[in-house]
Amino acid sequence: MNADLFAADREIIYSTDKKGQPQLREKAVKRQPGPDMSHDRQKQRLLDPMAPWLHTLGITNAKGDVLAASQDKWRQINKYLEIIESLLRAHPLPPNPEIADMGSGKGYLTFALFDFLKNNLGLAPHVVGIELRPKLVDFCNRTAQAHHMDGLEFKATDIKDYQPERLDMLIALHACDTATDLALATGIHQNAGIIVAAPCCHKQIRRDMQTQNELAPVLEHGILEERQAEILTDGIRALLLESEGYQTKVFEFISNDHTAKNVMITAIAGQRGVKAKQRAALDKVTALKTGFGITEHYLEKLLSE
């Protein structure tokens, strides 16, 4: 029966009288400032959602809208590029960098990296995705060719068999269990200037662990032992990288809400020669192995071979 319309400068009231006749009144109100829209800005993205390869990989529709089912992946891609951008601002790559992405899977992050390096940074990258599953490799190669992404290729091979002549940046994102160690060892052996790894499914250390330190009583609970094994696996990886002269950082890649595989290790070369620091890192590895009854960390074994 009644309706009120509140505008910034007036109020318009619609009502009906006793006889059912409609009435419209207008009341001036003190002008209110409009809402502050300054926060309502478009988020600056490092990747254009209209990039056609995103559609081929099933992340966007033909109009460049991110599909509901791909929102997490889209967030992960963007977070990854933010990390890469800030890393490369401090440690730039050469103009024609050689990059390996070990365990590239369906290639979302490999394509994103190539697109970013080429179109945002203006580099001429050669990015090679290494992946065991030939079907994924064929699909990624066809997609790269269809979108004329020269310099991006995928090889169906085991990480352990890929030994490029030059490697400027080594990537290993969610490469299963010890595949991360194989990738890190390749990066170290090939003197990669930058290493970026997001490890996944830490089984090797868990099998080996016989904790003999003060944490032993709490690690009787399986879930706590599992988490401790993850911490040790990645912590020792970071120390081994330091023992090879890298400066490392370990941090949260993307919030737990999106994926449980959310730890990232970055390593920057350049400290070789600081022998005391390298030795100290190895001593810490030895102490950790003793305390947690670990006979061998797979990366340590690979580095000693």
Ligand X SMILES: C[S@@+](CC[C@H](N)C(=O)[O-])C[C@H]1O[C@@H](n2cnc3c(N)ncnc32)[C@H](O)[C@@H]1O
Residues at the site binding ligand X, with contacts judged by CB under 6 A? 103-105, 108-109, 130-133, 158-159, 173-176, 179, 182, 200
Judged by beta carbon, residue 82 or residue 220, the one nearer ligand X is: 82
Q: What is the DSSP string of 4-71?
A: EEE-SSEEEEEEE-TT--EEEEEEE-PPPPPP--TT--PPP-SS-TT-HHHHHTTSB-TTSPBPGGGH
What one-letter code names the amino acid at 86? S
d(CA 84, CA 70): 21
Judged by beta carbon, residue 157 or residue 248, the one nearer ligand X is 157
Work out how close the CB of 155 gets to ligand X at its nearest, in angstroms, rounded to a whole number.
9
What is the smallest separation between the CB atom of 56 and ligand X, expressed in angstroms?
Answer: 16
| 138-141: long-range pairs with CB below 8 Å, 24+ | 139/106, 139/107, 140/104, 140/106, 140/107, 140/110, 140/111
Q: Supply the minimum distance, in Å, between the C-beta of residue 225 and ligand X.
A: 23
Q: Which is nearer to ligand X, 189 or 284 (CB)?
A: 189
Biggest alpha carbon–alpha carbon distance for the chain: 98
Least distance in Å: CB of 70 to ligand X? 12
In angstroms, give the least distance from the CB of 245 to ligand X.
Answer: 25
Question: Looking at beta carbons only, is 79 or 289 nearer to ligand X?
Answer: 79
For ligand X, which is the closer residue by CB, 204 or 243? 204
